[in-house]
Amino acid sequence: MNRNVSWVCIVLVCLLVFAACQPTPGEPAVVNKGDADLKENIQKTAALSEVSTKSEKRWTYEKDYDSGNRVIVDAVMYHTDADKLPVLSVTPKMFESGVQLKKIVDVFCPDAKIYDQGDKLTKSQLTKSILDIKEEIFRVEHDMIPFEGAKEPIPEDRKENYLNGLYSAIEYYEQQMETAPDDSELKEAGYQLTDVGNGILQSNMLAIADDAAFFIDYINNPPDRIGSEFYLESSKLILENMGISDKFVIPESLESDSEYIKTKQRIDQCVKSMGIDYMSLNSVSRGEDSYSFYYTRAYYGLQETYVNEHIGTTVTGVDFGPMIYLWKPEYLCIEVQNDEIVKVTWDNPSEIISVDNENVQIKSWEEIQEIFKKQVDFLMSPKPAGNGDKTNSTFFFEKTDVHINRIELGLTKLLMKNSRDDYKLIPTWSFMGYETSPSRPEQEGVNTGAEVCFITINAIDGTVIDRGLMY
């Protein structure tokens, strides 16, 4: 996939990876996947009075382990009052050339000139970028704020690395200049998806407005690689976290913030104008002069749970057969900085092909609690005998406190057993929060929310789901 990026992408790249599947431990996880036939259980419909445990609003639980680890659950429970608990069969919804592509671009770049760009900046754009970077170098070296929107100069202990990143960006752009097209070579956008090889249909566009440029990509993957993506990035994107103070929190937690409410109304309208009528806001991150809005599918009050990061749960006794590309969860993220939309990502658009059960029967909350306790014991306890150092658990390599502060009854996309393309959204319980340890102390003043999903439990049959394997 070709993608244009602004120079700041070169300056700062941070990636935290949680393993989707860990080495097999001495003992299996709580529930083997072959213990129940999920497809049979999907057919069991609940009585109207069995929709959910509406009386539960918060759960508290705490336990210390010989490993030195600790789990602290003090969590509000969400969507337990959903009207129905559906099981939905979904399939990829691919982008279509022409009207659809133009409609989405017009939402975010209404007054811009749109060109078919390919994967290269023009010589004039590169020249301007280099001049901008040189100006920023001057500002950093003279202890000024580095760019418009920054609140303070770069701290002295970060200045050398920051400047090295700027010099690397100049070097990169100077190399690009050798093969960059002239502005006269730009062609007006035709909003067409073209085959760029290996069956990938793609459209790369450049939107030029008065004070910014936007890089736009549409990608339809071939059937064996499944899924599609829309990506938009402004040249004004600042990759630093803009002083994040609320991370992956529920939207309701920001309802007293008038600026947030005003911005949310604007972003909700953008989603509607994109032609998306099935998504609702699931999670928000707020920083200083910035917001990130995460939308997912909603159905009768139940929502697909947005998960930023997850840890693996170790699945045993399952033959997954040959490796395949998995169709990952769908979400729409719109990022706002300094009151301007600077980044949009819409991953894996989907459509419902059937409602397998409008209100499936699920296990009681009391059963789910016990499954959680057993699984968290497995995660937090010392390594099995024979592994030497017992101060660490199987999944945490230093003494760690796991804080669960959000429990969500929602939908999770799963690949059905012995299938390559049978994907369903099913009700699950997701236990989310954050972790603290000597190397990752708690950040003072940060409202930490659902940063990590530690455990996901199938609400229908009680099996523990590995989000990385989607089973």
How far is Cα 213 from Cα 121, in angstroms, rounded to an integer? 10
- Per the prediction, the chain carries an average pLDDT of 84
Q: Taken in order 449, 372, 53, 304, is the CA torsion positive or negative?
A: positive
Residue 99 has pLDDT above 70, yes or no: yes
Mean pLDDT, range 260-276, rounded to an integer: 97
Residue 366 has pLDDT above 60, yes or no: yes
Q: Give the confidence band of 29 by pLDDT, cuts at 50, 70, 90.
A: very low
Mean pLDDT, range 291-302, rounded to an integer: 95
Mind listing the pLDDT tens digit for each residue in 187-223?
Answer: 899 999 999 889 999 999 999 887 788 999 999 999 8
**Token pair of 386 as six digits:** 């024979």
How far is Cα 301 from Cα 296, in angstroms, rounded to an integer? 12
Q: What pLDDT is attached to residue 240?
A: 60
Residues 178, 182, 188: CA angle, nearest 5 degrees: 135
Q: What pLDDT is attached to residue 126?
A: 84
How far is Cα 273 from Cα 269, in angstroms, rounded to an integer? 6
**Overall size of the chain counted in residues:** 471
Mean pLDDT, range 278-283, rounded to an integer: 97
Cα Dmax for the chain:
69
pTM of the entire predicted model: 0.81
Residues 243/287, Cβ–Cβ less than 8 Å: yes
How far is Cα 377 from Cα 390, in angstroms, rounded to an integer? 14
Q: Give the confidence band of 180 by pLDDT, cuts at 50, 70, 90.
A: confident
Mind listing the pLDDT tens digit for each residue in 423-470?
Answer: 999 999 999 999 998 888 887 777 889 999 999 999 999 999 999 889
Of the chain, the percentage scoring pLDDT greater than 70 comes to 83
Residue 317 has pLDDT above 80, yes or no: no
Q: Give the confidence band of 397 by pLDDT, cuts at 50, 70, 90.
A: confident
Mean pLDDT, range 379-384, rounded to an integer: 76
Lowest mean pLDDT among 99-103, 392-396, 400-404: 392-396
CA dihedral 336, 342, 347, 351 (to 10 degrees): 70
Residue 167 has pLDDT above 80, yes or no: yes
Mean pLDDT, range 246-274, rounded to an integer: 95
Lowest mean pLDDT among 103-117, 198-212, 253-267, 290-304: 198-212
Mean pLDDT, range 338-364, rounded to an integer: 96
Q: What pLDDT is attached to residue 32?
A: 46
Name the nearest CA neighbour of 176 among 115, 129, 234, 217.
129
Q: What pLDDT is attached to residue 288?
A: 82
Q: What pLDDT is attached to residue 388?
A: 47
